[in-house]
């Protein structure tokens, strides 16, 4: 093979040099690069798992928030209903109080009117009694006994329906 220009010593030297270089590159370059790639792959896998956990946690949080909002809405409706009932009750109590106060005022006014009417009737009877005594004195031209005459007039007035008290 030497005739063709192949030098076996050079090929063996090249092969030894290649193997040494390959061994050095494997030790120095290839293994650290593979280690870096494996670490990177592990970090990416860890990040993806963390992202999945965060996604799940976010979904659960959203569901909890929705449930809390729904519960708060229902509680708000209950509170509004209770407030409406309380307002209606207060309104009815106020109406009842106003009704009672109006009834008391009307009753008091009726009592006052009755007292005033009774007083007017008593005054009218006294006036009528005095006028009758005066008229009788003028007619008879003599003074009658006032107490007997008043008694007689009161008896007549009690018998007449016009002056009877209701």
* DSSP per-residue string spanning 31-92: HHHHHHHHHHHHHHHHHHHHHHHHHHHHHHHHHHHHHHHHHHHHHHHHHHHHHHHHHHHHHH
Asked if 145 contacts 166 with a C-beta cutoff of 8 angstroms, the reply is: no
Burial class, 152, CB count within 10 angstroms (exposed 0-12 / middle 13-18 / buried 19+)? middle
Q: Is position 110 within any domain?
A: yes
Q: What is the model's pLDDT at position 154?
A: 75
Q: Is position 115 within any domain?
A: yes
Cα 120 to Cα 9, 112, 113, 164: the distances in Å are 159, 12, 10, 12
Q: Is position 135 within any domain?
A: yes
Q: Is position 55 within any domain?
A: yes
Domain around 15: 8-159
**C-alpha 73 chain-centroid distance:** 12
**What CA–CA distance (Å, rounded) separates 128 from 134?**
10
Q: Is position 131 within any domain?
A: yes
For the chain, how many structural domains are there in total?
1
**What CA–CA distance (Å, rounded) separates 23 from 25?**
6
pLDDT in tens, 50-84: 999 999 999 999 999 999 999 999 999 999 999 99
Q: Is position 27 within any domain?
A: yes
| Token pair listed for 15 | 């092969």
> Looking at the predicted structure, is the pLDDT value of residue 2 above 70?
no
pLDDT in tens, 10-56: 889 999 999 999 888 888 888 888 888 999 999 999 999 999 999 99
Q: Which residues contact 136 (CB under 8 A, 6 or more apart)?
A: 144, 149
């Amino acid at each position: 093979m030497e005739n063709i220009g192949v030098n076996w010593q050079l090929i063996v030297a090249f092969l030894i040099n290649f193997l040494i270089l390959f061994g050095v590159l494997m030790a120095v370059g290839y293994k650290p690069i593979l280690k870096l790639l494996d670490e990177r792959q592990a970090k990416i896998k860890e990040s993806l798992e963390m992202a999945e956990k965060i996604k799940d946690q976010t979904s659960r949080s959203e569901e909890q928030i929705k449930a809390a909002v729904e519960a708060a809405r229902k509680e708000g409706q209950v509170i509004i209903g209770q407030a409406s009932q309380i307002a209606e009750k207060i309104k009815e109590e106020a109406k009842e109080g106003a009704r009672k106060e109006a009834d008391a005022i009307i009753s008091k006014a009726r009592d006052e009117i009755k007292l005033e009417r009774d007083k007017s009737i008593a005054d009218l009877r006294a006036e009528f009694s005095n006028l009758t005594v005066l008229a009788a004195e003028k007619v008879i031209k003599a003074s009658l006994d006032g107490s007997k005459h008043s008694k007689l007039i009161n008896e007549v007035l009690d018998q007449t329906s016009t002056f009877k008290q209701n």
